[in-house]
Structure 1
Amino acid sequence: MQIIPFQGTRNFRDMGGYQTVDGRKVKRGLFFRSDELTALSKQELVEVQALKIKTIVDYRDASEVRHKPDPNIAGIMRLHLPAVPETQASQINLPGYLDKQKRSSHYILDLVQSGFFERFRAEDLLLELYSKLAINNPSYKRLMELIRLPDRLGLLHHCRAGKDRTGVGSALILLALGVPEATIMEDYLLTNEIMKTYNNEQLHLLSQNLNETELRNVEQMLFVKEAFMEAVFQSIKQTYGSIDVYLSIEFGLGQGEREVLQEICLE
């Protein structure tokens, strides 16, 4: 893994370098993960092109995309593949009615003003979301088709903060490549270190206007927890019995297909 320090993003990384169960490593320059891209400068867009990225997958819902659209980058194909459709009542996304109101610069402020944190316990909602994300999700099915196409790599996938929807997408890519679950968990939790300073600043600013319960809910939304990714692994194994069966049935990645994929993506 390599953090790429753009000023317009906070969680942009090359997913290469992780070791697989057979001792090989994921090649660098093939898979990237990030938070929203809206604030990238013109110079940073040039630097993104220099990374030889050919495909960008955006997991955000239509409301998020309208509010903060991805920039157009010459030579890069953009795909909008919402990981959590607006029709699903998931609180990881902004409530739909907020799109009709004047939006602030940060989605947490919108949620606070909507009374979200007075009505919901964020940890329970996130656990429910994670337990469902990886099962029969058209967005990830398309993602796993794309990673098998050498001419569509490097591939950058992102959502708003680059932690939940992107965290699950990253886990699925790494599982298919044979990276151990423990390593995938380390990659997932790395968001907490990368975003620690920014998130603590947000908590400090919001603490002046929120009670303790609301503030703890905000904290759950800003940071990631081991239990969230464990919910993904548990859901997969409860549904399919094993990771291998899951990859084969959900994505058509049987042993032979995974060997071909790994030959392309590992060194």
Structure 2
Amino acid sequence: MFSLQNKTAVITGGGSGIGRAISELFAKQGATVHILELSKENTAATIAAIEATGGKVFGHSCNVANQQEVVEVFNKIGKVDILVNNAGIAHIGKADTTSEADFTKVFDVNVKGAYNCLFAVIPLMRNNGGGAILNMASIATLVGIPDRFAYSMSKGAVFAMTLSVAKDYLQDNIRCNSISPARVHTPFVDGFIAKNYAGKEEEIFEKLSKSQPMGRMGKPEEVASLALYLCSDESGFITGCDYPIDGGFIKLNN
């Protein structure tokens, strides 16, 4: 079950954190993995880890906010069976404390970046007889998260795009779903805490961990397992759905 043999998967932001876990698991299950990533260092490390276990993987330096770059990379890859729109950035701020520049930056990566990949991959999937698209949304699409105005906006847009794509391409055998993680412990999270809460790292980490009713953050591998199911043939009757993976955050925080 959950074999990805003879499938080609593109994973944006696939060099670290959740993206790396998805890249490694998909390669383990037989997919040829293409990582779209700005960090050459992260890409190289992930490629080395995958190749060490016999997986097939390629890295592409690509800014997902640049449509021309994205289209060129996808056309170079050619056949794409799976797209995971995972690349994204976070931001702390409310509506009146978020600068226009920061708002635009979050929008360009999280929203325009996802759109650019959809724009590039859908014609390829249509010509190939179909495919599976998975967008990385967030619990911020479903509940109010304090001080995350721009980030919540961007993930809400990703959620809405998921529904639109799922509806528009039913006849093309293209499925589109999304995952909404709560806090997941990745190097990104550690860096984010260090940058924004210097001197309070342990306190903030514990606070964020305990915000999930399970009392901990998720693991990238747990998100990757859900991604595998939603991108495999076993989930062939599922489209237009969002799957929270949140340690009970949405339903049990009362």
- TM-score interval, smaller chain: 0.3 to 0.5
Higher strand residue share: 2
RCO higher in structure (CA 8 A, sep ≥6) = 1
